Structures are given as C-alpha cells and as structure tokens.
Structure 1
Amino acid sequence: MIADYTEAPVCHIDDLADGDLKEVRVGDTDVLLARANGQFYALHPKCSHYQGPLAKGLLNGHRLVCPWHNACFDIRDGHRLEAPALNGLPTHEVRIEGDQVFVRLTTDKESLENPMSAPDTANSETYVIIGSGGAGAFAAEGIREGGFTGKIVMLTASGEAPYDRPNCSKDYLQGEAPDEWMALRPEEFYKSYGIEIRTNQPVTALNPITKQIELASGEIIGYDKALLCTGGKPNKLPAVDLALKGVYTLRSLHDSQTLRDLGKQGKRVVIVGSSFIGLEGAMSLRKLGSEVDVVGPETTPFEKILGARIGRVIQGWHEAAGIRFHLGRRLDHLEGEETVNAVVLDNGERLPADFVLIGAGVKPRTDFLKGIPVEKDGGVRTDEYLKITDGLYAAGDIVHYPTSDGIQRIEHWKVAGQQGHVAGLNMAGKETPYQMAPFFWTNQQGKRINYVGHTTQVDDILYDGNPETDESFLAFYVQNNQIKAVAGLKRDQDIIAIRELMQAGKMPSVEAARNGIKWVDELKKA
C-alpha cells in the first residue's frame, strides 16, 4: 500500500486555469491534476476502461471525459458518470500552502467502484434483465446504484457472463487480448452484489400483463420490473445456404474464438459486407495471416455514414494491408457440397473461400414479446426514461427513444451501456431521462475514428483538414442546415467538446464551423 504520508508539491496555483488538466508525479506515482471553479482535484491518470491518458481528454465543469472512447467521470469524487467505463477513478487529497499545490497520495488502486447497495433478503421484489450485453451489464449495476436491494436476475442465451463485445472484432480476434481480459467483471463481483447471472437461458416469451417470462426450458419466472436488452440478431441473406459448413457471423465471444482459430491457419476468407464489423473483422483476420476478400454493395465503404472521401481513405488503408475489395457487387450464391469453397458474385466472378464471414447487419431481437407493439424494424419504443409500459423498460440496440430531433435507434456499445445504466437507475426509482448525444468509435487498420451525433440524411459535408493527406481531420455532417454529426481522426479533444455542446443543446451554426471555430474554446464559453 502507498504510505499515507507520501506528499509533494506539484505546481503553483497559477500554473493551471479552470478547465486545465495536467499529469504530475508524486514520488513514484503518476497523478492527474484538474482545476474547476478554482478548486484543485487529484485523480488516477488513466481511464478505467482501456487506460486512456486522461490528461489528453477534456474537462467540462466537473465532467472529465476520456479522449479515446468518451467515458466520463466526476473529478470531485472520481465516480463514473458514463459508459464505457464501469469503474470510477480513485482520488487523492489536495491542499494549498501559499502559492503551492500539494498532493497527498491516499490509495494505490487504479479504479473505484461506484457506490452500490447490498442485496437484502428481506426485500422480496425481483428485477429481471433479459440480455447480457453492455446494456444488461450496466443496468444491473445501475439498479444497485439506484438503491434497489431486492433480487436481480440476468437471463442470457449466451454461455458467458457479460464481456467486452467490441473487442471481439479487434484485439481479441487478432489474438492480442487474452481471455481473462474479456469479462467485464469477475464472478465474485456479481455474487457480492446479489446479481444472479443465468447463462444458456433463452427467453421464448414475455407477457407484460401477467409480468411473466417463459424460458426455452419451460420454466416461468415472474418479475416486478424487467429490462429488455436483447440486442440484435444477424440478418439472413437469401443467397446463403445455412446448411453449408464454413459460414459464420461475428456477434459473440464464441464467434470470435472460432474465427481467430481459422484465421491463424492462413485460410482464404470472403467477408460479405463492408460494414464497420465487416472491415474490423477483415483487418483482424488479415493480421492473423488470412487471405481476405471483401464484398459489398456500396461503391465506397461507409459512404452513407462517413461520406465517400473518408470511405475511400479507409479502403486505401485496408488495401495497403493486402485486403482485396469487390464493391458494387452482391452475393449471388455460395458453392460447396457440405462445406463452402467459393463465393459467386452477381457478375459471375468466383472467389475461392475456405470460410465466409457474413456481416450484413442485424435486426432487433424481440420476437419473444407478447402484446407489446414493435416498430417496422422489430425494435420497441420507449419514453425518455426508457420505459415501455408499467414495470417494463428497454435499452440498447432494440430501443427507439425520443430526442429533440425525433425518434432514434442507435446500435453502439457506449449508447447501449449508458442506456442500460439510466434504465437501471429508473427501475430503482431514480427518475433520470436519457439525454446522451450518440457516440461510437471504430478501429480501422490501427486508426481510431470517433463519431458523435446522428443524422438520417446528409445534405452536405464540411471538412476541417484533408482526409486524403492530413494525419488528423474533422468531418461535419449537415442536415437541414444544422450540424447533426461529426467524425474525427486524431481530434479527440474537439470531438469531446462537440459532444458536450450537442448534449447541452448549444451546437454552433454551420457557418461558424465553416469559419474554423475553435471547439474547445467554444465549450469553455458555453
């Protein structure tokens, strides 16, 4: 343990202005120093999610945002405010003597659990979570953070407790992340907080009137409140013969393990779908030594989301790594007697394949619901508190939720995690509206692109920086003469500032962006 007398002067009072962050050293320990409203705070300097350098993040009031994946913490107590971080940050004591700032080390921990209630056997209420993805994991903790002491049961068709699903297409698939990294929490954590995780338990029906859930085994479970966070199931392609061996999707830890084993054998893989998951999978399998062909109906990857210019740049990154593209093409059929051996495209081109990865998107997994209206895509609609009806809530990929721009449904990990946390708080009686600006990230050939906001159509794209030649840039997506979304490469602080402005409803005009606004300065003025 750190000796409780380890203390050192770290700076002068005037060295930091309000909103500034600085990494300092106390003895042999790195510490993040922050100043807000004239007060100094000292915290662990690395994000509890992926150890991102918080000094390169941004401080907005007391909100500290990580530069990598926009996890958010309160500098006053270190508590985690937003996903994807599960834990908060340990804090250290700060004192002022004359014009010097001193930090006294009080802990050697690297992360801190948010305060949660312990289970109480005297409380007979049962809350059920259906799904063990990011939404389910954060919801279980949100319920306990909100003060609920009754029984929590998590039902999942998966064979695993909650794990780091975004990593399934990235480092884990590449063999760079060991199995022990993947679980979000150790088994002992869930036991200590009375969160019962029942794996391999597919749900076949839920009746909101009787408040009963039926499992594939025939077992019936009653609930007082329940949360739906079942995520998506892969879209089926008519041209794919499901009886053929060697055809895979990438939606689970098991999928990633299977594909990783195949990828290490230097086999030929055809990926059908040039989506984020498709191209992250292509990147990872290529790094393992596979020969990779990507087939997609678009003429440019990500053109609808990121625009043609950025799409072509990303395609170039992959081509430089040896990945071959067949764009503007669709799958006609697969060849093979028992096991696939080739993919035939709609122009007759034949691509040899030892295995095939289908990345054709997903649809909400809600076919077990009884008496609950669903949207055209199979999702469910909630109010701003993520509530569907009495005692029933939803979070994650299946949710159509209200915003100032209308109803949205977003399929991203941070969104799912934060919705789960908010839904859990609401189930526990803490009325908390969900108001986060959507955010996601993707890793394309080692380059992280962050994206904030949401747009249903793009009328124009403005650029700060040149995607084709510059190492960093921002792209502003304009709809109805408003900036509705922004993508960035190596512009982490700008993306944070933009997301904070979006969440506050204070986004500047298109003209301001066109004139080269300084986003961090704009946030400080807001």
Structure 2
Amino acid sequence: MTTDYTEAAVCHIDDLHDGQLKEVRVGDTDVLLARVDGQYYALYPKCSHYGAPLAKGVLHGHRLVCPWHNACFDATTGHRLEAPALNGLPMHEVRIEGDQVLVRLTTDAQSRTNPLAAPQAHSTETYVIVGAGGAGAFAAEALREGGFTGRIVMLTQSPNQPYDRPNCSKDYLQGKAPAEWMPLREPDFYKQYGIEIRTETPVKRLDAATKEIELQSGETIRYDKALICTGGAPNHLPVPGAGLRHVFTLRSLTDSSQLRLLGQQGKRVVIVGSSFIGLEAAMSLRKLGAEVAVVGREAVPFAKVLGEKIGRLVQGWHEKAGIRFHLGREVRQFDGTGEVSAVVLDNGESLPADVVLLGLGVKPRTDFLENVPRADDGGVLTDEYLQLADGLYAAGDIAHFPTPDGPVRIEHWKVAGQQGHVAGLNMARPDAPEPYRMAPFFWTNQQGKRINYVGHAEQFDQIIYDGDPETDDSFLAFYGVDGIVKAAASLGRDTDIAIIRELLQSGQLPDPQTIQAGVDWPALLAKVTPQA
C-alpha cells in the first residue's frame, strides 16, 4: 500500500507544556509545534511577513507572536491576527497515537489569507478607502474578512498599489530588494476580491455631512461608509534654496527610487534631520557608496525617544560606517544654481551636497476633509472603534485614538496596519464592533541592528536598563513616567520584548521596582491570563 503524504512522530505527549513552541522535522520539512490548552498544533514555522523563525517567538494562549516585528497569529487556526503580516500560516494535521505526537504534512504552501468573502454584483453598498498605505491595504481585506460583499473602492494619489513602505528606507533603497518584492499583493488578488484600486486619483474634498467625495477630476462618489487613511505629508524646510532640484523627502516608492538612482558611489548626500527614517536612509545611501553627512538639531539622535545612552550608541554605529554628524545645528539655506550644491548651517559652515534628503517628520494629510473636526496638529479624533462620524472611520498617521492617558496619534507601520484591520472589521460588522487597544510597536534598522520599541512615552523621567547599552550586545530599556513603565526598547532581546508587549497589552507590566530587581519574563507571562 502506498501513501501520498508524509507523517512522522515528532515528540512525546508530555514533552511540551502549554505555551511552549518547538521546531520539528517531518521528512524534509520543518514544522512548528505549539501546545495550547493541552492540544498540539502544527504550523508553518516562519512568519509570513519577513520569514522570522516563529520558534523563537512567544506563545501566549492562542496568540503566536513573531520575534522580529511582532506580527501575531492564532496558533489553533493559523489565522493572522495582527499586522504587519498579511497572510496566515498553513496548518498540518496532528494526531496522538499512544504517547506519541504525530504530524502529517497537508500543504507545502508558505502562507495563506484569512477567509475572505467574495464580492456580490447585486450589492448596492459602496465603501470607500481614501489612502493606499498600510492602513488602507489591511482595511480592504478586513472588509472582506468581516463579510462585506459590496463594492470597495480605494482612492490614492500614488501611482502604485499598496506596497511595503518601511522597505523604502532600507533594503529597497540599498538596491537589495528588487521592485517586484515591494507590492503587498499581486494585482490579481485585488481583482479576485473585488477591491477596486484607483491610482493617481487625488481627492479634492470629502464631506462627512453629505457622505460625498469629490475627486480632483470633478467626479463625485457617494459612499455608504468610508475610511480615511491618507497618512502624512512630509515636512519641508522654509529656507532659501528649498526649491532647488535634488532636495528630496522620503515618503514614497518613487522618492526611494529617485534617491537610489542619485545617491550612488561618490555622491555627496546631506540628510537634514536625525530621525529614524533619516538615519535609516543615511545607512542605506552609505551602503550604496555615497558620502553621507547628517545635520540635526538634537545634541544626541533619538534622545527624546530612546534616551541619550542609546542615542549615542546608535550614532557610534553610523560613525563607524563613515557617516559624519553635525548635531546641535540648523540649516540656514541651500546653495546652488538650478540644482543643490551645498547646505549652509547656522554656524556658517557649508557642506557640499549633490543630494539633500529632508527627514523632518510629517503632518497629517487631512486638509480635504469637510465637516470633520481636526486636532491642533491636523489629525482627527476617533472613538475606541476608530469611528469619527456617522459611517466615517480613520486609521494610521492621521488618527488620534483614545488611551487611558488621553488621545494619542502614532506614526508607525504596524499601528497603521492594525488600525486599518480593526476599522475594516468594524465597518463590516457594525453590530459587533471591536475596540482598538493594541500596545504600539515599531522597529528600526540602524546599521544592520534592529531596535524594537513597544508602548508609547512622549516623555519619561526614568530609564531602567537590563544590560548596558555601552558594553553589551543586547539589552532592554524601560521608560517610566511618574512611577509607571510606559514603554520599552530592546536590542537582541526579541523574545523578551514580545513578552513585554503582551504584558503591556494585558495591563500586567510590572512596576519599576520589580523590573529593577530582575524579572523572569517567560515565567511572568505564564501567570498572566491570555487575551480572549
């Protein structure tokens, strides 16, 4: 008798406890084994986002968290629960024979979508998504995941369908990621699920009172529900010479492509702004062979977010790579005839420049909204379900969402994607809305070293270190405000920082005194009731 499947005994029934993970081998295939509530589950072992080894992640109840970028999956179904992963994980069959756990391979696919509803031509409802970034991409799929079968229209002024924007300052800018890697989905995917993406279609106004959207072309679209996720417009520098050619911002795939073309071997590039994006771009352009200088107002990069000790550490990484810093300085003007040739600082120093990149942050892109109150910074205020008016929702960089500390607006890819996912589900399922309560997370790649950050602390009065950033290859840093830990950062402590986010999200993060005394993070997580 022959079989058309591969099956193997992978462990003893008592080898794993609830919350444990183990990578095993079935034939020539690696499989992730997980134990949840006394049951074994077998899954594809790599994250569907960037291929991180999930065995090094965290299993908390049914929540399987990626160690690199904190994507989250349901270990019992394989479904994707949180951005930045779009796809879920394939499952394999598991059975118990005697005291052995056996796994039978059932698929060789690397990823799969969550179940999505098919569009129905007879539906008369139209849901519009304004913006095609991470929030818009996740929202469109969440509408179908939530069971919406009507018309979905995505409007974007970009020439591109949704793509992997964080890569624009990293591997793509370095020339290591080809253009075909950048789209989040193939065009056929959007056609299959009836998601109509209209590129190069700027919106002139959206009237929340009449539920009408007027395009720059003059066309008007009436919506039943809409999501605003237009992101941010890069800040410019109002100094003489700002309009010269080759003065760039980095917000889009087009921007990254232009910089990659111009910032080649021997070119002189000046980065204005020591932001995360600015220094990621400095790293990438230096890897292309450009001579790179960074101008920043701060005395130490990232001091306001990560503290001076970590900021100096990161600065040192870049300096070892040959990047020069001019800190505590401002730009007085750009010199050049037609094209930029120099950046003049407030101390009179002139930096030669073939290319200038402005990394000065963004402001919410909301000037087209009518009958929608705006916050002082131009963002919009949502409720806990990310709704801001009847039938109107917001997600991503423009959204101030409620937290116990008051409304907060966060400009991070994972946050935007997960907000889009929650908003899309709530639009599709108004009778069973889901509040947005995810602990914020972002990552940054600085000279090949990934720093992960969870939580949110606009200011802090205490930093607690587990490990010394000045001497150790890995560490944790906790940021306290009035005796409460609000955020944490890590280098080389991926599993611990994923656990910390689970604890923060559950409201179970220890106080500063407990953290200072030392914490066994896996043991602490095992005592915390998982989220439903």
* TM-score for the superposition, normalised by structure 2: 0.98
Residue aligning to 1:479:
481
Residue aligning to 1:321:
321
Q: Name the SS for the 2:496 alignment partner.
A: helix
Which residues in structure 2 correspond to 1:73-88 (within 5 Å)? 73-88=73-88
Residue aligning to 1:432:
434
Residue type of the partner of 1:249? Answer: T
Residue aligning to 2:353:
353
Q: Which moved more, 1:459-468 or 1:261-270?
A: 261-270
Residues in 2 aligned to 1:386 and 1:492: alpha-carbon distance in whole angstroms: 30
Residues in 1 aligned to 2:354 and 2:264: alpha-carbon distance in whole angstroms: 13
Change in CA separation of 1:293 and 1:434 when aligned onto 2, cut-off 3 Å: same
Residue aligning to 2:520:
518
Residue deviations 1:322-359, cap 9 Å, x none? 00000000001000121110000000010000010000
Residues in 2 aligned to 1:404 and 1:244: alpha-carbon distance in whole angstroms: 45
Residue deviations 1:464-487, cap 9 Å, x none? 000011010000000110000000
Displacement after TM superposition at 1:128 (Å) = 0.2
Q: Name the SS for the 2:293 alignment partner.
A: strand
> Quick check: 1:501 aligned with 2:500?
no
Residue deviations 1:60-95, cap 9 Å, x none? 001000000000000111000000000000000011
Q: Name the SS for the 1:373 alignment partner.
A: coil
Is residue 386–residue 394 contact of structure 1 (8 Å, CA) maintained in 2?
A: yes
Residue aligning to 1:308:
308
Residue aligning to 2:297:
297
Residues in 1 aligned to 2:76 and 2:255: alpha-carbon distance in whole angstroms: 41
Residue type of the partner of 2:48? Answer: S
Residue type of the partner of 2:499? Answer: A
Is residue 269–residue 291 contact of structure 1 (8 Å, CA) maintained in 2?
A: yes
Residues in 2 aligned to 1:256 and 1:317: alpha-carbon distance in whole angstroms: 23
Is residue 136–residue 420 contact of structure 1 (8 Å, CA) maintained in 2?
A: yes
Residue deviations 1:138-176, cap 9 Å, x none? 000001000000000000000000000000000000000
Displacement after TM superposition at 1:264 (Å) = 2.2
Is residue 475–residue 488 contact of structure 1 (8 Å, CA) maintained in 2?
A: yes
Residue aligning to 2:237:
237
Is residue 84–residue 417 contact of structure 1 (8 Å, CA) maintained in 2?
A: yes
Residues in 2 aligned to 1:478 and 1:61: alpha-carbon distance in whole angstroms: 28
Residue deviations 1:151-210, cap 9 Å, x none? 000000000000000000000000000111100000000000000000000111000111
Is residue 439–residue 505 contact of structure 2 (8 Å, CA) maintained in 1?
A: yes
> Quick check: 1:181 aligned with 2:199?
no
Q: Name the SS for the 1:334 alignment partner.
A: strand
Residue type of the partner of 2:251? Answer: R
Residue type of the partner of 1:290? Answer: A
Residues in 1 aligned to 2:284 and 2:82: alpha-carbon distance in whole angstroms: 28
Residue type of the partner of 1:54? Answer: L
Residues in 2 aligned to 1:513 and 1:13: alpha-carbon distance in whole angstroms: 35
Displacement after TM superposition at 1:456 (Å) = 2.2
Change in CA separation of 1:302 and 1:104 when aligned onto 2, cut-off 3 Å: same
Displacement after TM superposition at 1:33 (Å) = 0.4
Residues in 2 aligned to 1:391 and 1:240: alpha-carbon distance in whole angstroms: 44
Q: Name the SS for the 1:285 alignment partner.
A: helix
Residues in 2 aligned to 1:240 and 1:246: alpha-carbon distance in whole angstroms: 14
Is residue 88–residue 112 contact of structure 1 (8 Å, CA) maintained in 2?
A: yes
Residue deviations 1:401-440, cap 9 Å, x none? 0012211100000000000000000000241100100000
2:451 pairs, out of 430, 449, 452, with 449
Q: Name the SS for the 2:34 alignment partner.
A: strand
Residue aligning to 1:274:
274
Q: Name the SS for the 2:172 alignment partner.
A: coil
Which residues in structure 2 correspond to 1:353-502 (within 5 Å)? 353-429=353-429, 430-502=432-504
Q: Name the SS for the 1:116 alignment partner.
A: coil
Residue type of the partner of 2:360? Answer: A
Is residue 263–residue 355 contact of structure 2 (8 Å, CA) maintained in 1?
A: no
Residues in 1 aligned to 2:275 and 2:116: alpha-carbon distance in whole angstroms: 38
Residue type of the partner of 2:506? Answer: A
Is residue 4–residue 106 contact of structure 1 (8 Å, CA) maintained in 2?
A: no
Residue aligning to 1:150:
150
Is residue 451–residue 489 contact of structure 2 (8 Å, CA) maintained in 1?
A: yes
Residue type of the partner of 1:478? Answer: G
Change in CA separation of 1:4 and 1:223 when aligned onto 2, cut-off 3 Å: farther
Which residues in structure 2 correspond to 1:8-87 (within 5 Å)? 8-87=8-87
> Quick check: 1:257 aligned with 2:270?
no
Q: Name the SS for the 1:213 alignment partner.
A: strand
Q: Name the SS for the 1:55 alignment partner.
A: helix
Residue type of the partner of 1:409? Answer: R
Displacement after TM superposition at 1:4 (Å) = 4.5
| Unmatched tracts of structure 2, length 5 or more | none
Displacement after TM superposition at 1:243 (Å) = 2.7
Residues in 2 aligned to 1:266 and 1:11: alpha-carbon distance in whole angstroms: 56
Residue deviations 1:99-134, cap 9 Å, x none? 111000000100011001000011110000000000
Displacement after TM superposition at 1:521 (Å) = 1.3
Residue deviations 1:190-235, cap 9 Å, x none? 0000000000001110001111001111111110000000000011
Residue type of the partner of 1:329? Answer: R
Is residue 305–residue 458 contact of structure 2 (8 Å, CA) maintained in 1?
A: no
Q: Which moved more, 1:384-393 or 1:515-524?
A: 515-524
Displacement after TM superposition at 1:266 (Å) = 2.6
Is residue 242–residue 333 contact of structure 2 (8 Å, CA) maintained in 1?
A: no
Displacement after TM superposition at 1:241 (Å) = 3.0
Runs of 4+ with deviation above 2 angstroms: 240-243
Change in CA separation of 1:256 and 1:42 when aligned onto 2, cut-off 3 Å: same
Change in CA separation of 1:352 and 1:152 when aligned onto 2, cut-off 3 Å: same
Residue type of the partner of 2:475? Answer: F
Residues in 1 aligned to 2:349 and 2:98: alpha-carbon distance in whole angstroms: 77
Is residue 36–residue 76 contact of structure 2 (8 Å, CA) maintained in 1?
A: no
Residue type of the partner of 2:91? Answer: T
Displacement after TM superposition at 1:265 (Å) = 4.1
Residue type of the partner of 1:496? Answer: A
Residue aligning to 2:136:
136
Q: Which moved more, 1:135-144 or 1:515-524?
A: 515-524
| Unmatched tracts of structure 1, length 5 or more | none
Q: Name the SS for the 2:153 alignment partner.
A: strand
Residue type of the partner of 2:504? Answer: M
Figure out how many residues of one structure are paired with residues of the other and give that number.
524
Displacement after TM superposition at 1:457 (Å) = 1.3
Is residue 272–residue 278 contact of structure 1 (8 Å, CA) maintained in 2?
A: yes
Residues in 2 aligned to 1:17 and 1:243: alpha-carbon distance in whole angstroms: 62
Is residue 273–residue 360 contact of structure 1 (8 Å, CA) maintained in 2?
A: yes
* TM-score for the superposition, normalised by structure 1: 0.99
Residues in 2 aligned to 1:371 and 1:310: alpha-carbon distance in whole angstroms: 44
